[in-house]
Amino acid sequence: MSTITLSKSDAAGVKTDVVVIGVVKLDGGVTLPAGTESLNAAYGGKLVEVLSALGATGKAGEVTKVPGPKPGKSATLIAVGLGSAPDGALKTEDLRTAAGIGVRAAKTAQSIAFALPTPDAECVRAVAEGALIGRYSFNAYKSEATDDVPGNLTVLTDLARSKEAKAALERAEIVADAVHQVRDWVNTPPSDLHPTEFAEHVQKLAKDHGVKVEVLDEKALAKGGYGGILGVGQGSTNPPRLIRLTYTPRKPVTHLAFVGKGITFDSGGLSLKTASGMISMKADMAGAAAVVGATIAIARLGLPVQITTYAAMAENMPSGSAARPSDVLTMYGGKTVEVLNTDAEGRLVLGDALVRASEDHPDLIVDVATLTGACVVALGTKVAGAFANSDTARDRVVDAAVIAGEAMWPLPVPSEMLDKLRSHSKVADLANITGEPWGGALAAAAFLGDFVADGIDWVHLDVAGPAFNDGGASGYTSNGGTGYSVRTLVELAASAT
């Protein structure tokens, strides 16, 4: 069992297999940040020259490995480029990323010490988060699985004995646990994680951490009139579920509601996806996984924020019982929707959940969904789209994302998109698509916004790009599920205090 600790040990004398340091880029060379003085001395004051001779430039993400000053008797040095810092200040995301890169570069080292700059507790947290999250590996289905992640981790810092640093480390551990859990869920093959199994996992996790949980099965969904969730799930032999989590601390300062899209596999239904388009569709439940993971983390941290969370779970499959294009669904709350494309299913399950979440009268609803390929076309695979019915609410979430190191870009919800959805159906209150090949992410956001009660602030995060990474591990981001938005939601709750 690996651990992470804080230590005031000297970087040159710490007993470890690997020491990770940062290298800052300068015009015409590199320099070492604070905290590496003793290491420089161990190399006879020539560490910069050694690194430069090995080709180090300080470029962000660059890795340079240096044998210990006493070969065979001292730790290997891994120098990670931090990029330029013109004002001398490094961002916490720079440190988080450097720690993640250092962990991956060290591979299976039994112990790693991080001598990265930690002038305050937030920097301690960033280094610890990067190290822990970057260490993730998913080997559950490998026949010869080995523990190919580094062992014990140590953050070297002069703040090691301060209450603030200890609290920062605890938060990093809890958040990393949540990210790892979300990644495990997203990476699990869809044959092993249907809505029922996911609900069972959540029930156990919630019980372990004192969070109340309620699960509506297909009978309860039918009785309650959840036509969107039932309509999407009716083509599968694996029935849908709606999971409700509640965390209510004493004297909460605010009430946040989280809603997550939980399509455990998305074939597109009768509007069938291409073969290649289905390959990563086990990740279509990443939004539900993220809101659940964040809720458990917030409860473990004991933050004084009331959380009500909904995970709308279904499997979207083609069969004789599947919803057909032109079918009309009666959503929870009474609105009718004509389904003109069964592959625009995420908005249907979310619509039900958003109406139900509105009934709890939260101060803010945030939904998280791998909703549209259109958002990936617009923003690429590393940036989420942030939509809202209030600029203030959207800015709160985006500001939290900046602190967490998760890229989000504000996008509009044009009123004409909702008009198009309403006019595109001749038989129902609205259609689930506009019928136009452009503005798909905006139309989806407009659809969702129509299911949020008046007077409630709402933010929609389209994480279709960054929630699943098939482009190779980088920084602290692993292959497969990334756990994207967990840290933003925790930061949002923490900032409310």
The residues assigned a catalytic role are 273, 347
The total number of residues written for the chain in this structure = 497
What would the DSSP string read from start to end of 154-172? Answer: EEE-TTTTSHHHHHHHHHH
Contact, 237 vs 289, CB < 8 A?
A: no
What would the DSSP string read from start to end of 28-88? Answer: TEEE--TT-HHHHHHTTT-HHHHHHHTT----TT-EEEE--SSTTTSPEEEEEEEE--TTS
Can you state the percent helix, strand and coil of the chain, rounding each to 5? Answer: 40, 20, 40
The maximal CA–CA distance of the chain, rounded, in angstroms, is: 80
Two structure tokens written together for 400: 């939290």
| Per-position b or e across 344-356, b if 16+ CB within 10 A of its CB | bbbbbbbbbbbbb
CA distance 488 to 493: 9
Angle among Cα 257, 258, 264 to the nearest 5 degrees reads: 150
Q: What residues have CB less than 8 Å from 357, skipping those under 6 apart?
A: 257, 259, 308, 310, 365
CA count, 13 A, side-chain hemisphere, 38: 11
Two structure tokens written together for 51: 């690194």
Q: Pairing relation of β-strands 18-26 and 29-31?
A: antiparallel
Contact, 421 vs 430, CB < 8 A?
A: yes
Contacts of 320-328 with C-beta under 8 Å, sequence gap 24+, read 321/234, 321/235, 322/234, 322/235, 322/269, 322/270, 323/231, 323/232, 323/234, 323/235, 323/269, 323/270, 324/270, 325/270, 325/271, 327/231, 328/427, 328/428
DSSP code of residue 284: G
CA distance 408 to 420: 26
CA distance 69 to 96: 26
Nearest to 162 by CA among 121, 126, 129: 121
Two structure tokens written together for 424: 């595109």
Burial class (CB in 10 A: 0-12, 13-18, 19+), 426: exposed
